[in-house]
Amino acid sequence: MRDRNYLFNNVDWFSVDQHQRRELAKEIDSINGDRLLNSSVEDLCDYFEKKYKIEVPVLRPDNIVADQRETKIDVSGDRRRYFSNPGQPFYVNGTTVEISVPFEGDSEAFKVQPTSYTMNPPRAEIKNNNLVIKIEGTDLSADQVRNEVNRTISDIEGYLVTLRSNTQGWNTQIRSLAHAAIEQRRTKLLKDRNLLGDLGFKIKAREGEARTYTAPEVRRKLAPSLPPASTTPYKPEPTLANADYEHILSVIQNMVHVMERSPSAFTSMDEESIRSHFLVQLNGHYEGQATGETFNYQGKTDILIRSEGKNIFIAECKFWSGPKKLIETIDQLLGYSSWRDTKVAVIIFNRNKDFSKVLESIQEATKVHSNFKRQMASTSETMFRYVFAHRDDPNRELLVAVMAFDVPA
């Protein structure tokens, strides 16, 4: 007989689901307000996703370890035996076999009763990262032990399959639930600070100005800790509105399509000459606010857009000369970026033959940069979007668009 160490028998799944939701909401509500505002929302979501995700264990039966020892077994319940003192324990020599089954995942999950279960759940002890199945008897055989072990493991696997189905719904919701709760609290905190609407600077577009180019069609393709953040009073910073950022990128992209249609006009142009064409188009849309070779923070940048005396967009234009040069360009761009610069771009012109290889190299090189945080969805096969950490503050995030174009050689 075995010890009564029932698995999947402590708490039902519905209670666990409700508990996780309450604890997630409670922790978000308890974070210091200024720390919450000074933290990256996505970094906070990463933390909550890791902390509240339930990792249902995976058994590793290929690595089973067996052990046996002699033990005393009470056989007073064996009706086939005669006892002079019925009702009293009677011990005889027997054998205990312990089968240790390694697993990976959260051991606490073995305590959760899934939505489908039996009245006689499997039994085993949880020791570190092993399930220990104990079998005792006075005359054990190898076949008997093997069959018992296989049956128990099969029962456990059945419970785990159901539990994975239960937890999948919760695990896929964590990030969205956390994101919604964080944004809701941020909105309240900002409202308490008498801020209205979003804080983006709207660039004043020319009244009645016709768009020079039409946008082209494109193919769309372990215990965690809170991210470090300051608890000093949060000071909102003005940023470029997303709609304006997207429009600026579209103006640049459309200008390149003009270059592709009229290659002879751009064949002999260097970086400065090509940049000047971009400045003309941008100033045509934004009242002359784009300038070249303008000092910003601690260096020079190729394209800079200012609004009411503040830098709200900066970009670097470079001819492709390898991954190392791209990393240097990103460093250069981050060096220009002041606290208010949150949307930047790297514009790469390719005069080499293998443009596909260049695109692959861009993605590989960008992701190994020390300030890289994550990649965002792209709207084009030749434009990639990333989130980078500000070099002086990991909680300050910059949106970096890397745009690559084939230009006439």
Cα gap 258→263, rounded to integer Å? 8
Model confidence at 247: pLDDT above 90: no
Helices (H), 193-346: 242-261, 271-285, 323-336
Q: Is the pLDDT of residue 169 over 90?
A: yes
Tokens 């090509």 label which residue?
274
- E strand segments, 170-220: 200-201
Per-residue model confidence as pLDDT tens digits over 41-75: 989 999 999 999 999 999 999 999 999 888 887 76
Range with the poorest average pLDDT among 45-49, 51-55, 234-238, 302-306: 234-238
Backbone phi and psi for residue 131, each to the nearest 5 degrees, phi listed first? -95, 125
Quote the pTM value: 0.65
pLDDT, position 249: 86
Cβ 134 vs Cβ 127: under 8 Å:
no
pLDDT value at residue 191: 81
> Does the pLDDT of residue 379 top 50, yes or no?
yes
pLDDT at 38: 86
Higher pLDDT, 342 or 158: 158
* Choice between 402 and 277, residue whose per-residue pLDDT is larger: 402
Q: Which pLDDT value is given to residue 253?
A: 82
Per-residue pLDDT, averaged over 227-256, amounts to 76
Which is more confidently placed, 218 or 178? 178
In 3D, which of 60, 58, 53 has the Cα closest to residue 167? 53
Which range among 25-34, 173-182, 277-286, 359-368 shows the weakest confidence by mean pLDDT?
277-286
Q: In the prediction, which pLDDT does 212 show?
A: 33
pLDDT of 175 reads: 96
> What percent of the chain stands above pLDDT 70?
78
Confidence of residue 342 (pLDDT cuts 50, 70, 90): confident
Output the average pLDDT for the chain: 81
Q: How confident is the model at residue 337 (pLDDT cuts 50, 70, 90)?
A: confident
Q: Which position has the higher pLDDT, 336 or 112? A: 112
For residue 296, what pLDDT is reported?
A: 63
| 10 vs 113: CA distance, rounded Å | 7
Residue pLDDT, tens place only, 318-328: 889 899 999 99
Percent of the chain with pLDDT over 90: 39
pLDDT-derived band at 276, boundaries 50, 70, 90:
confident
Q: Is 290 exposed, middle or buried (0-12, 13-18, 19+ CB in 10 A)?
A: buried
